[in-house]
Structure 1
Amino acid sequence: MSVVVDAEAAELVLANCLEKDEFNLFFRKLLGSGSIMAPVSVWRPRRKQMAPFFGITNANRSQDSLLKHSDNLVKHLESMADTEPFSMFDIFYPYAFDTIMELILGLTLNSHEEEDTRVLKAVPDCFNSVAYFLFQPYLQFEIIYSRLPIWAKFLNDKQNIQRLIAKVMASKQKLYDGKNNNVDANISLKSLVDFLYSSPDDKKFSIDEIREELFVMLFGSTILPCVSLCFTCMMLAKYPDVQEKLIRELDEESSRYEKGLTKSRPHENKYLEAVIKETFRLYPSVPTVSRKIDKDIEMPSGTVLPAGAACFISIWGIHRNPKYWGPDADSFRPERFFDSPPKHPATLMPFSYKSRGCIGMHFGMLSLKVILASLLKEYRFLPNTTTDAPVRPLYDIILKDADNYMIRLKRRDRIQQ
């Protein structure tokens, strides 16, 4: 096994070795063969088919939905402003869940008011169960884990998610049966499930393939954006000068366009993007990715990684490598993306890198921009305590905050705007 913290070496591995390593086989056993965990022979054709749905053009068309959910979140936070600290994840997650449910399954939900929260709770509970199994290797033997109460809970959570997917698929099957499904892949469809059912006959996914993809997309797309949003808000609370500079940028744009971030010009919020990138750099939601070395590869250092070995790419290590980011690599400074950012593209890869990188990266980045712009139009983020306490990252499958993303919220003084 080898660990890479060098951008050039990481690019070499990720460009040439597409197969996931043995570490990911247990993921596949628990969660199925959706594209995230699938072998290359399964992943490649599915990725090619789904790519148009997750492209930049379709992402930009999703802004109405993102703004709707962001406005709902802003209203929900009214009662929490100027009060006691609260966990951002506990509040933000239901809205992230609703956004993804609309994008993937075409469902319009209001999870904060729903009585049945089984699926809402099932996704993070599944995450926690998988982490529990993965980081205790002796539990990866079926004869052991299948006898534990946590296994029964995991299966129940997984079944709750799968039942909802099956219900949606049954309704879509009726809708698309007998229709001409040769829909142009570039036409925006309401949801991923519609897109998959509308594929041309020669590219159509089977029922099992659709089920696998919907499950793994729901599993991977609800928690990660929420975690990134929470870390970004924590950084703004911790660095008020950065927050004020960002608010000024958004206020200037708001005077020209509606909602603080317009549908047509999200790229104009340069400092907002720099703040998000700097948070990604210091707190990547997936701090490590792994690959199976399928042929001998010589690293830039001259070291040869032998075929059959496992290689872990430390995104955390690359993002904090002083070779690329300078002596202040551990400092939060969004201005570095204007001053002299590293030239090598693999020095920043919060969505992984190369062809097996995150297919939803455009949606992920845009959703963070829209939500942050909406929140900062009404509120300022304040630290949980008056002391300058450091962030305490916790790593299981993803990077988390050991203190559960606690923060305070203050209403903005509209007279000052």
Structure 2
Amino acid sequence: MAPAKNLTMVMNAGSSSLKFKVFQALGNGELESLASGLCERIGDTANSRMKAKTAEGGSVTLQEGFSDHQDALGLVSRFLADTFSSSFTRSVHSVGHRVVHGLDISAPVLIDDGVKAVIEKAISLAPLHNPAGLQGIEAAMATFPAAPHVAVFDTAFHQTMAPAAYMYALPKELYDEQAVRRYGFHGSSYKYLVPRAAKTLGKPVESLNAIICHLGAGSSMCAVRGGQSVDTTMGLTPLEGLVMGTRCGDIDPAIVTYLLGQGHSGAEVDALLNKRSGFLGLTGHSDLRAVIDGAAAGSAPDRIALDVWRHRIRKYIGAYALQMGGPLDALIFSAGIGENSSILRAFLLEGLEWYGIALDEESNKAAVDGVAGNITAPGAKVQVLVIPTDEELSIAEQAIEVVDRT
């Protein structure tokens, strides 16, 4: 008897890593996570290893040399076959791949040569992510040749933005010939959060007006009007927008030319803005928890860094509220910082009662460590929600939808 094709693999390939998660389709249409893991230090065969865990709580760390993503995925397949069934690879219904940049592709798509060409074309805009994405796709197609493969792009959710939001005031030929525009990222997270927020509020998705704060080491915000993205903080690349762990976010672009004129190379400036700025640049710590501790202990640089972080986010809250075209239904917090730091949520929203945004202190404290919650104070006009995101589940849902309709 042929194995039931009821499993979906989700893959997120980095330059030296490969994350995976396996979902099983249940009879009620829901998806259940069976296993997840990370292959790290791919290419460093002396130190590469796989860490994996199952839904039942079992965990394993396997030390094995991975020369490339194909080697890593081979170990993943053996682990899953040993853990679940020798016919595991034949039970895979679909494979969903997280791809960072898809230019103007506006929906998840079956991967073919044309899609691969788009991913390759976008390498110049996502040089750290898209090459690894292609490597992961090629490895997975060799490992699961009978399964359809779907690309789910971080940029796709924001393709509903109007030209007023995505165009830069630069010579138009840069857009026409080199695709220079705002794309936005974290799309799988936003696509996951929007319908769940609408359900929480008892509203149809198409009538939801919300500002979503995806706050983590990489952070962005999205203005959602009528259930669709109308603006977002990240731009051509993930560098634009909020203050992040090591990224500067918004700056005067003349700083770049100034630094180049001072003798810094282009590569040095790029590394400075992406890897040495943000909280790391302001405080010496990229982890926001260390910044919070420092501020509490009286460190002036840490306190200033938190003030800069808050100022930027509140500026975008105000700007995005004007994009709603009507009342703002909700302000939503998600991702590592947004989901887990009640202290920072309270700090961010302090003094906004005049605008109808106020927190219930006890509800705010309770909504941590993966616990969702409505943390709105009684009588406040704007609902404040904490919704843990699940980008892997979002990718799995989108992959299944694409395969089932083809």
TM range (shorter): under 0.3
- Decide which structure has greater helix share: 1
Greater relative contact order (Cα < 8 A, sep 6+): 1
The TM-score normalised by the length of structure 1 is 0.27
- Decide which structure has greater strand share: 2
The TM-score normalised by the length of structure 2 is 0.28
